[in-house]
């Protein structure tokens, strides 16, 4: 097959997938854009570059083109034609420069969910074998190894044993009859294991009946992000099967944003059946435990601010719960804008896993640095390991001097017993 034929086939595969996905709400979104341009300044990629190609509405175009050409009367003139040149042009816009943060939708007068169009468009690109190589490989790792970072079941098991010994913390595995199945993000396990220890210590202290699973442990869902529905489904099935086998009534997603959205909001649709359990983000669970008096904290010292992960606050609805958990802070300062309007870290939607997007990510992080500096806070706390990894990388790049901390790790430091005495750990 010649290169030209391969390119034509790729383009046709993408066009076919666009059309297969283009129904119901997506089609109405594509018809609704009035080209007002209001979404431009809501997007961090446009905000830091001023480049019109980063206007969110522009990301609708490839799918809109396929849709229009296949609609009456255009389909009489040849149907959907996507060219290789167009695939090349839009790949960067749909992958490297959309974190699926949903900020543009908040300002769109037509309520267009651009992130969902980007997600469907990525699926068309994946069908055509397109997309950033490292990112697509991370998605394949989920199929082959059980996790995007290659954390196989035996690696997971080994690391849990190591953490249990090193930190002298009880980390139950495959405990039947547990109320809660706690999942982890491989980013945490490989880069920030202390956040896993922190979650375990908080749950153990509150007397929660929980367990890890040796088969359904990975919370992240790179199939969902990369537009590979079979991998997205496989990742969810591992968790659902594990929860059913253990009899868990609740599945808890750790400090990870997209993992929460993938299971909580999209899980049933991807699986084709209702989820047999409740889904909570760790922030939600810790808030419940605090509200029930099972977790108590002493005043958190120093000046802190909170970075709202897009998928947990704006698109997840847990905005107020992080504030509730941090209401013991002596000096809590909100960023401007904050909460549901907060700016994205720049690495969501899988952008963190695309090496070629690093320069753009660092540029975007300038918005966050300014937001934090404007508060004067010394520490920025967050509850997403992907945000943390993105921000840690950009913090090093800019040699920025503020502290970044995980919400669970901060809380465990300030835990007190029923007498108000600090709980000590043997680290």
Binding mask 115-134 for ligand SF4 (x = CB under 6 A): x--x----------------
Using CB under 6 A as the binding rule, whether residue 102 contacts ligand SF4 is answered as yes
Using CB under 6 A as the binding rule, whether residue 271 contacts ligand SF4 is answered as no
Q: For residue 303, what is the enclosing H or E element?
A: strand 300-306
Whether the Cβ atoms of residue 167 and residue 391 lie closer than 8 Å to each other: no
| Cβ distance to ligand SF4 smaller for residue 115 or 389 | 115
Q: Among all chains, which residue has been given the structure tokens 């002493």?
A: 298
Using CB under 6 A as the binding rule, whether residue 57 contacts ligand SF4 is answered as yes
| Cβ distance to ligand SF4 smaller for residue 55 or 186 | 55
How far apart CA 185 and CA 196 sit, in angstroms, is 9
Using CB under 6 A as the binding rule, whether residue 45 contacts ligand SF4 is answered as yes
Q: Encoding tokens for residue 350?
A: 């899988």
Name the minimum Å distance from CB 31 to ligand SF4.
11
DSSP-derived 3-state class of residue 281? strand
Name the minimum Å distance from CB 90 to ligand SF4.
13
Q: From the list 30, 43, 381, 389, which residue makes contact with ligand SF4 (rule: CB under 6 A)?
A: 43
| Cβ distance to ligand SF4 smaller for residue 192 or 365 | 365
Q: Candidates 101-109, 160-168, 184-192, 314-322 — which segment interacts with ligand SF4 by CB under 6 A? A: 101-109
CA distances to 155, 186, 233, 236, 341 from 218, in Å: 12, 7, 13, 9, 29
Which residues are paired to 182 by β-bridges?
252
Using CB under 6 A as the binding rule, whether residue 114 contacts ligand SF4 is answered as yes
Q: From the list 4, 5, 35, 176, which residue makes contact with ligand SF4 (rule: CB under 6 A)?
A: 35
CA angle 397, 399, 404 (to 5 degrees): 90
How far apart CA 234 and CA 136 sit, in angstroms, is 16
CA angle 369, 307, 278 (to 5 degrees): 160
Name the minimum Å distance from CB 99 to ligand SF4.
4
Q: Candidates 96-104, 130-138, 258-266, 406-414 — which segment interacts with ligand SF4 by CB under 6 A? A: 96-104
Q: Encoding tokens for residue 326?
A: 């941090």
CB proximity list for 126: less than 8 A, separation 6 or greater = 136, 226, 227, 228
Helix axes 133-145, 229-246, angle to 10 degrees: 30
How many residues touch ligand SF4 (CB under 6 A)?
Answer: 27
Name the minimum Å distance from CB 150 to ligand SF4.
28
Q: From the list 26, 94, 104, 251, which residue makes contact with ligand SF4 (rule: CB under 6 A)?
A: 104
How far apart CA 97 and CA 56 sit, in angstroms, is 10
Q: Candidates 106-114, 144-152, 276-284, 316-324 — which segment interacts with ligand SF4 by CB under 6 A? A: 106-114
Interface ranges with ligand SF4 (CB under 6 A): 33-39, 42-43, 45, 56-57, 59, 98-104, 108-110, 112, 114-115, 118
């Amino acid at each position: 097959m010649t290169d030209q034929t391969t390119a034509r086939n790729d383009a046709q595969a993408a066009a076919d997938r666009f059309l297969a996905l283009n129904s119901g709400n997506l089609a109405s979104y594509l018809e609704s854009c009035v080209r007002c341009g209001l979404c431009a300044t809501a997007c961090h990629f446009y905000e830091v570059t001023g480049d019109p190609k980063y206007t969110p509405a522009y990301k609708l175009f490839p799918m809109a083109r396929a849709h229009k050409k296949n609609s009456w009367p255009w389909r009489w003139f040849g149907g959907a034609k996507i060219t290789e040149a167009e695939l090349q042009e839009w790949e960067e816009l749909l992958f490297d420069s959309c974190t699926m943060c949903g900020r543009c939708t908040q300002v769109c007068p037509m309520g267009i969910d651009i992130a969902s169009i980007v997600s469907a468009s990525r699926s068309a690109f994946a069908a055509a074998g397109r997309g950033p190589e490292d990112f697509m490989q991370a998605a394949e790792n989920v199929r082959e190894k059980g996790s995007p970072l290659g954390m196989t079941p035996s690696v997971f098991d080994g690391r849990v044993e190591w953490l249990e010994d090193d930190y002298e913390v009880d980390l139950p595995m495959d405990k039947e009859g547990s109320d809660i199945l706690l999942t982890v993000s491989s980013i945490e396990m490989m880069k920030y294991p202390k956040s896993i220890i922190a979650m375990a210590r908080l749950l153990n202290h509150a007397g929660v009946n929980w367990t890890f699973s040796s088969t359904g442990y990975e919370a992240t869902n790179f199939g969902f992000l990369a537009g590979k529905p079979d991998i997205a489904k496989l990742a969810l099935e591992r968790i659902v099967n594990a929860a059913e086998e253990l009899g868990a009534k609740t599945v808890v997603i750790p400090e990870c944003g997209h993992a929460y959205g993938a299971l909580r909001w999209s899980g049933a649709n991807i699986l084709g059946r209702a989820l047999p359990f409740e889904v909570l983000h760790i922030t939600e669970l810790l808030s419940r435990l605090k509200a029930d008096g099972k977790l108590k904290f002493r005043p958190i010292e120093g000046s802190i601010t909170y970075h709202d992960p897009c998928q947990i606050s704006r698109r997840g609805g847990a905005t107020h719960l992080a504030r509730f958990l941090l209401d013991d802070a002596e000096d809590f300062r909100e960023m401007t804008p904050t909460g549901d309007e907060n700016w994205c870290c720049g690495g969501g939607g899988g952008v963190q896993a695309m090496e070629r997007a690093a320069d753009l990510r660092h540029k975007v992080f300038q918005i966050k640095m300014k937001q934090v500096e404007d508060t004067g806070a010394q520490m920025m706390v967050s509850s997403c390991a992907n945000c943390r990894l993105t921000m840690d990388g950009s913090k090093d790049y800019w040699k920025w001097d503020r502290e970044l901390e995980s919400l669970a790790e901060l809380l465990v430091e300030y835990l007190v017993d029923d007498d108000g005495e600090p709980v000590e750990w043997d680290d």
